[in-house]
Homo-oligomer: A and B are copies of this chain.
């Protein structure tokens, strides 16, 4: 579903604007939630205020609200999120039953190729993981559902960027501010445009050690009935075990078939 301006406003009620108090209070509450992380699992009032750009009074009001609602707990000095927060993301995932139905297909693919398989969708300049079936090998990066990665340097990201129109695509790539994450990372906008165009033509995408040294991944599109890639499926592995060539020659057909199976469920 594309994000288009909706048409249901009546003349007596204007749509909320980013400056509205109502929008702002909600946005700030969500910013406070997002200020908690692996680096800051427990924060004082001052830390939350600093991390979310609020005054101490503003941060306190939001924290106490979140505490009243059971989303934050406190020992009197430190604040931490409660697991109730998971309900919100779970509302999204359970509203997308496709991923539960896709899981067995992904499991079978992992069994066949003995590499991890993930599914992701595009959000602005990032991909967000919506399902992951790991192999039982130790991975160098740990990615769970909800993890974000930049789209420009990932196989699923480039395939999903390929759905955008030319102007929007260039704008997203520029907004990504590409960084040389490894010595292989393509950062030049025109070179990235060419990579995305290639992904669009061939309907799959391989990225070789551009996100992290030693990490290779290959992606195929999950396509809705209108022929639009709404998500991507990938296999990722270690280059020293599975070269890009081996991945393309031996695993791509199984990946494309799995992506087609999942697409037919949409």
Contact = CB atoms under 8 A, between A and B. Distances in A.
Contacts of A138: 104
Interface centre among A1, A4, A83, A147 (most CB of B within 10 A): A83
Contact of A87 (B27, B93, B146): B146
A142 B69 contact: no
A243 interface: no
A6 B76 contact: yes
Interface string A120-148: 01011000101000001010001011111
A74 B6 contact: yes
Contacts of A23: 65, 68-69
Given A34-B87, A93-B144, 11 more contacts: A1-B78, A13-B60, A26-B26, A26-B65, A27-B69, A30-B69, A41-B95, A42-B95, A83-B123, A88-B88, A145-B145
A265 B93 CA distance: 29
A38 B93 CA distance: 8
Interface stretch (A14-22, A178-186, A202-210, A252-260): A14-22
A146 B38 contact: no
Contacts of A146: 86-87, 89-90, 93
A265 to B, nearest CB: 14
The size class of the interface chain A forms with chain B is 35 or more
Interface in A137-183: 138, 142, 144-148
A229 interface: no
A90 to B, nearest CB: 3
A205 to B, nearest CB: 19
A224 interface: no
Nearest to A90: B146
8 contacts: A7-B76, A8-B77, A33-B91, A70-B123, A82-B123, A87-B148, A89-B89, A104-B138
Contact of A16 (B45, B61, B70, B73): B61
Interface in A1-53: 1-4, 6-8, 13, 15-18, 20, 22-23, 25-27, 29-30, 33-38, 40-42, 45
Interface string A96-109: 11001001100100
Contacts of A3: 67, 70, 73-74, 82
A128 to B, nearest CB: 4
A142 B90 contact: no
A100 to B, nearest CB: 5
Nearest to A100: B142
